[in-house]
Chains A and B, each alone.
Chain A
Amino acid sequence: MVGLIKVTGVSMAPLLNDGDYILTFKPRTPRAGRFYVIAHDRHGQIIKRLSAINGQMASFDSINPEGSSGEITASQIKARAWLAITPKGIKRL
C-alpha cells in the first residue's frame, strides 16, 4: 500500500529536511541502507535508515551524525520510504 508522510525534524538532514514529504510503500524484505518508517516504542512514528538487519532484530541510524540510533524488531518496520518530495524537486531514496 502506498502512503504519503510528512517529515518532521532534522536527524535525516541533509537528505531529508523538516517539511519534506515522502512516498512510502509496504516493504517486502527490509534491507540495510534503505530508509524506513518505524513504529518506535518511545518516539512514535519515525523515519530512519536501516543500518543492519539480522533475522527479527534490526538497527537504525540517522544521516545527521547527531541524530539518534537504536535497535528495533523487524515487526516495527512499517513502510519503506521510496521518494522524497522536497521544495527543490523529487528524488529517489
Chain B
Amino acid sequence: MKTAAYVGVLSIAVLLLLSAGAPAYASAGQTRTPIKHLINIYLENHTFDNFFGVYPLDPSSPNQSLVASLSTPTNMLDANSTANVPSPVPPGTFSTPDPVEGNTAYHIDWNGGKMNGFVDGSGPSSMTYYTASQLGPLWDLAEEYSLANMYFAPLLSESAPNTMYYLAGYSPIMNDYGPPPSIPFSQTIMGELQSYGVSWGFFIPYQSQGATYSEWSHVSGMNDRLGNVFSWSTFTSDLSSGDVPSVSWVFSQGANGTDQGAPSNVLKGEMWIIYLINEIERSPIWSSTAITITWDDPGGYYDQVPPPVIDGVQSGFRLPMILVSPFAKEDYVSNTVLTHSSILALIDYNWEVPALNQYVSRVNIPLDFFDFSAPYGGGGVPRAPMTFDFGSNFPLPQSPYFDLPGNLQSQQISGAFPMQPQYSLSSLPYPRHGSTNTTLSSLGPGVFVQADSAVVPFYASVYFLTLLVAANVALLAWGVRVRKRERG
C-alpha cells in the first residue's frame, strides 16, 4: 500500500514536471482540424492568368451547360477588352518560349501597378495563356476542389526569393543569386516543425540530389537534415503504406521538365500532378489529408491583377493555387488574399504552433477553402476519394518518372474538361465563392522567430572585404612614406 502511494505521488510529480516543461503550444500529433497530413506540391513559373485566365470557359466542350454553371474566377478577357490582350496557346502546342524573368523585368511588367509593361519587361512571349486544350485535367482538379483567385507571389521577383517565403516567410535576397546570404534552418518552417516534434519531409526526384538541391540552397544547415529528404519513389511507397510525414513538400524541380517552367512542355508536369493526386486519393491517408498545388513565381507571364502590399511587402503577380482535400469545398473559388506564406500560416494554425514569424502571423490563412462540418448530399464528411482517368486522350504515367508520349499533337485534352462534379452543384451546403481575413495574429498564438536574420560568413562579408581594401591602401601609402624616408 505504501509502495503504491509512493508510485502514485511519483507519477503525479513526473506528470507535473513534464507539463511544466512542455512547449506553450500543443506538439506532435495534435491538430486543430481533421487534417493530419499536409502535402505541398511545388512547380515553376506560371501566373494565374497564364493557366486559369479563361477558366472555366471551353468553347470546344460538348457540355456547355455544366461549364456555364461552374464558379468563375476573375476573367482575363473581360478585363482586357481594348488593348494588350494575350493570345491563347494554340491547341496541340504545349509550351511557349521562356519570357524574360527577374526583379527588373517584373517591375517593368508591373509598371507601378498599371500591369501594362509585359511586352517591354518580359517580352512578347509573356502575352500568352493556356486553355482547356492543354490544361483540361488541371482545370478538373480546380473544378472538383478549390481554386485560389487571389494568391500572389510574395515578391515581385523570381524563384529563389519567392521560395524563401514558401519555406521561411522571409527572404534576404531580391533575385536569383547566392548563397550567401542564407537563412538559418531554425528560422524556417522545417526548423519550427522540428522543434515542436511535428514530422516533415522533402520529396525530390532523386535522393542523391539532396545535398545540392536548388530549392533549399539558401537554407543554412540543410545538409545536416538530409535525413528528412527522400525521393519521389519513397513518397509513393510511403503513400501505399500510409506512413507519410505530417507535412510534406513534393518538389517538381530537377526532373527534366516536370516543373512546367518554360520552355518545358506543360503536359509533363500536368500528368505528374494528376498521377500524384490519384496516388494520394487511393492511399490510406486520404481521409485526413490536404494538398496544396502551387507555382513558385510568375515566370514572366501576364497577369491582370495589380498585386497588393502584404504586411509592408510589395507582393508579386498572382499564381495559381489549387487545394485538394476530402474537406475542400467543391467548385469553390476563393477571393482570400493569399501568398506562399499563407501555406506556412495554415501549417502553424493546424498544428497549433506559433506563427513562424511576424509576416506569417499577418497573412491570411486559407481556411475558407475547407468545410469541416457540413455533410454533402450523401451525408458524408470527408469526401470520398476520386480517380482522375481520361483514357487514351491523356495517358497517365505509371510512376512519377516517365517520358511524354510521342503523339502529343493528336491528344484531345480539351475533352477531359469538365468532369462531372462529385456532388451535385445545387446540393452543396456552402456558397461557391468566398473569402476570409483570418490571420494567426488575429488568433493570438505568438511568434516563433522574433527577428529574421541572414547568414553571411565573415570572410564573405562586405566588412571583411572593406578591411582588405583599407589594408591595401595603407600598404601602398606606407610604401610612399618608406621611399620618401629612404631618399632622405
Q: Do A and B bind each other?
A: no
- Residues in B lying within 8 Å of A, measured CB to CB: none
- Residues in A lying within 8 Å of B, measured CB to CB: none
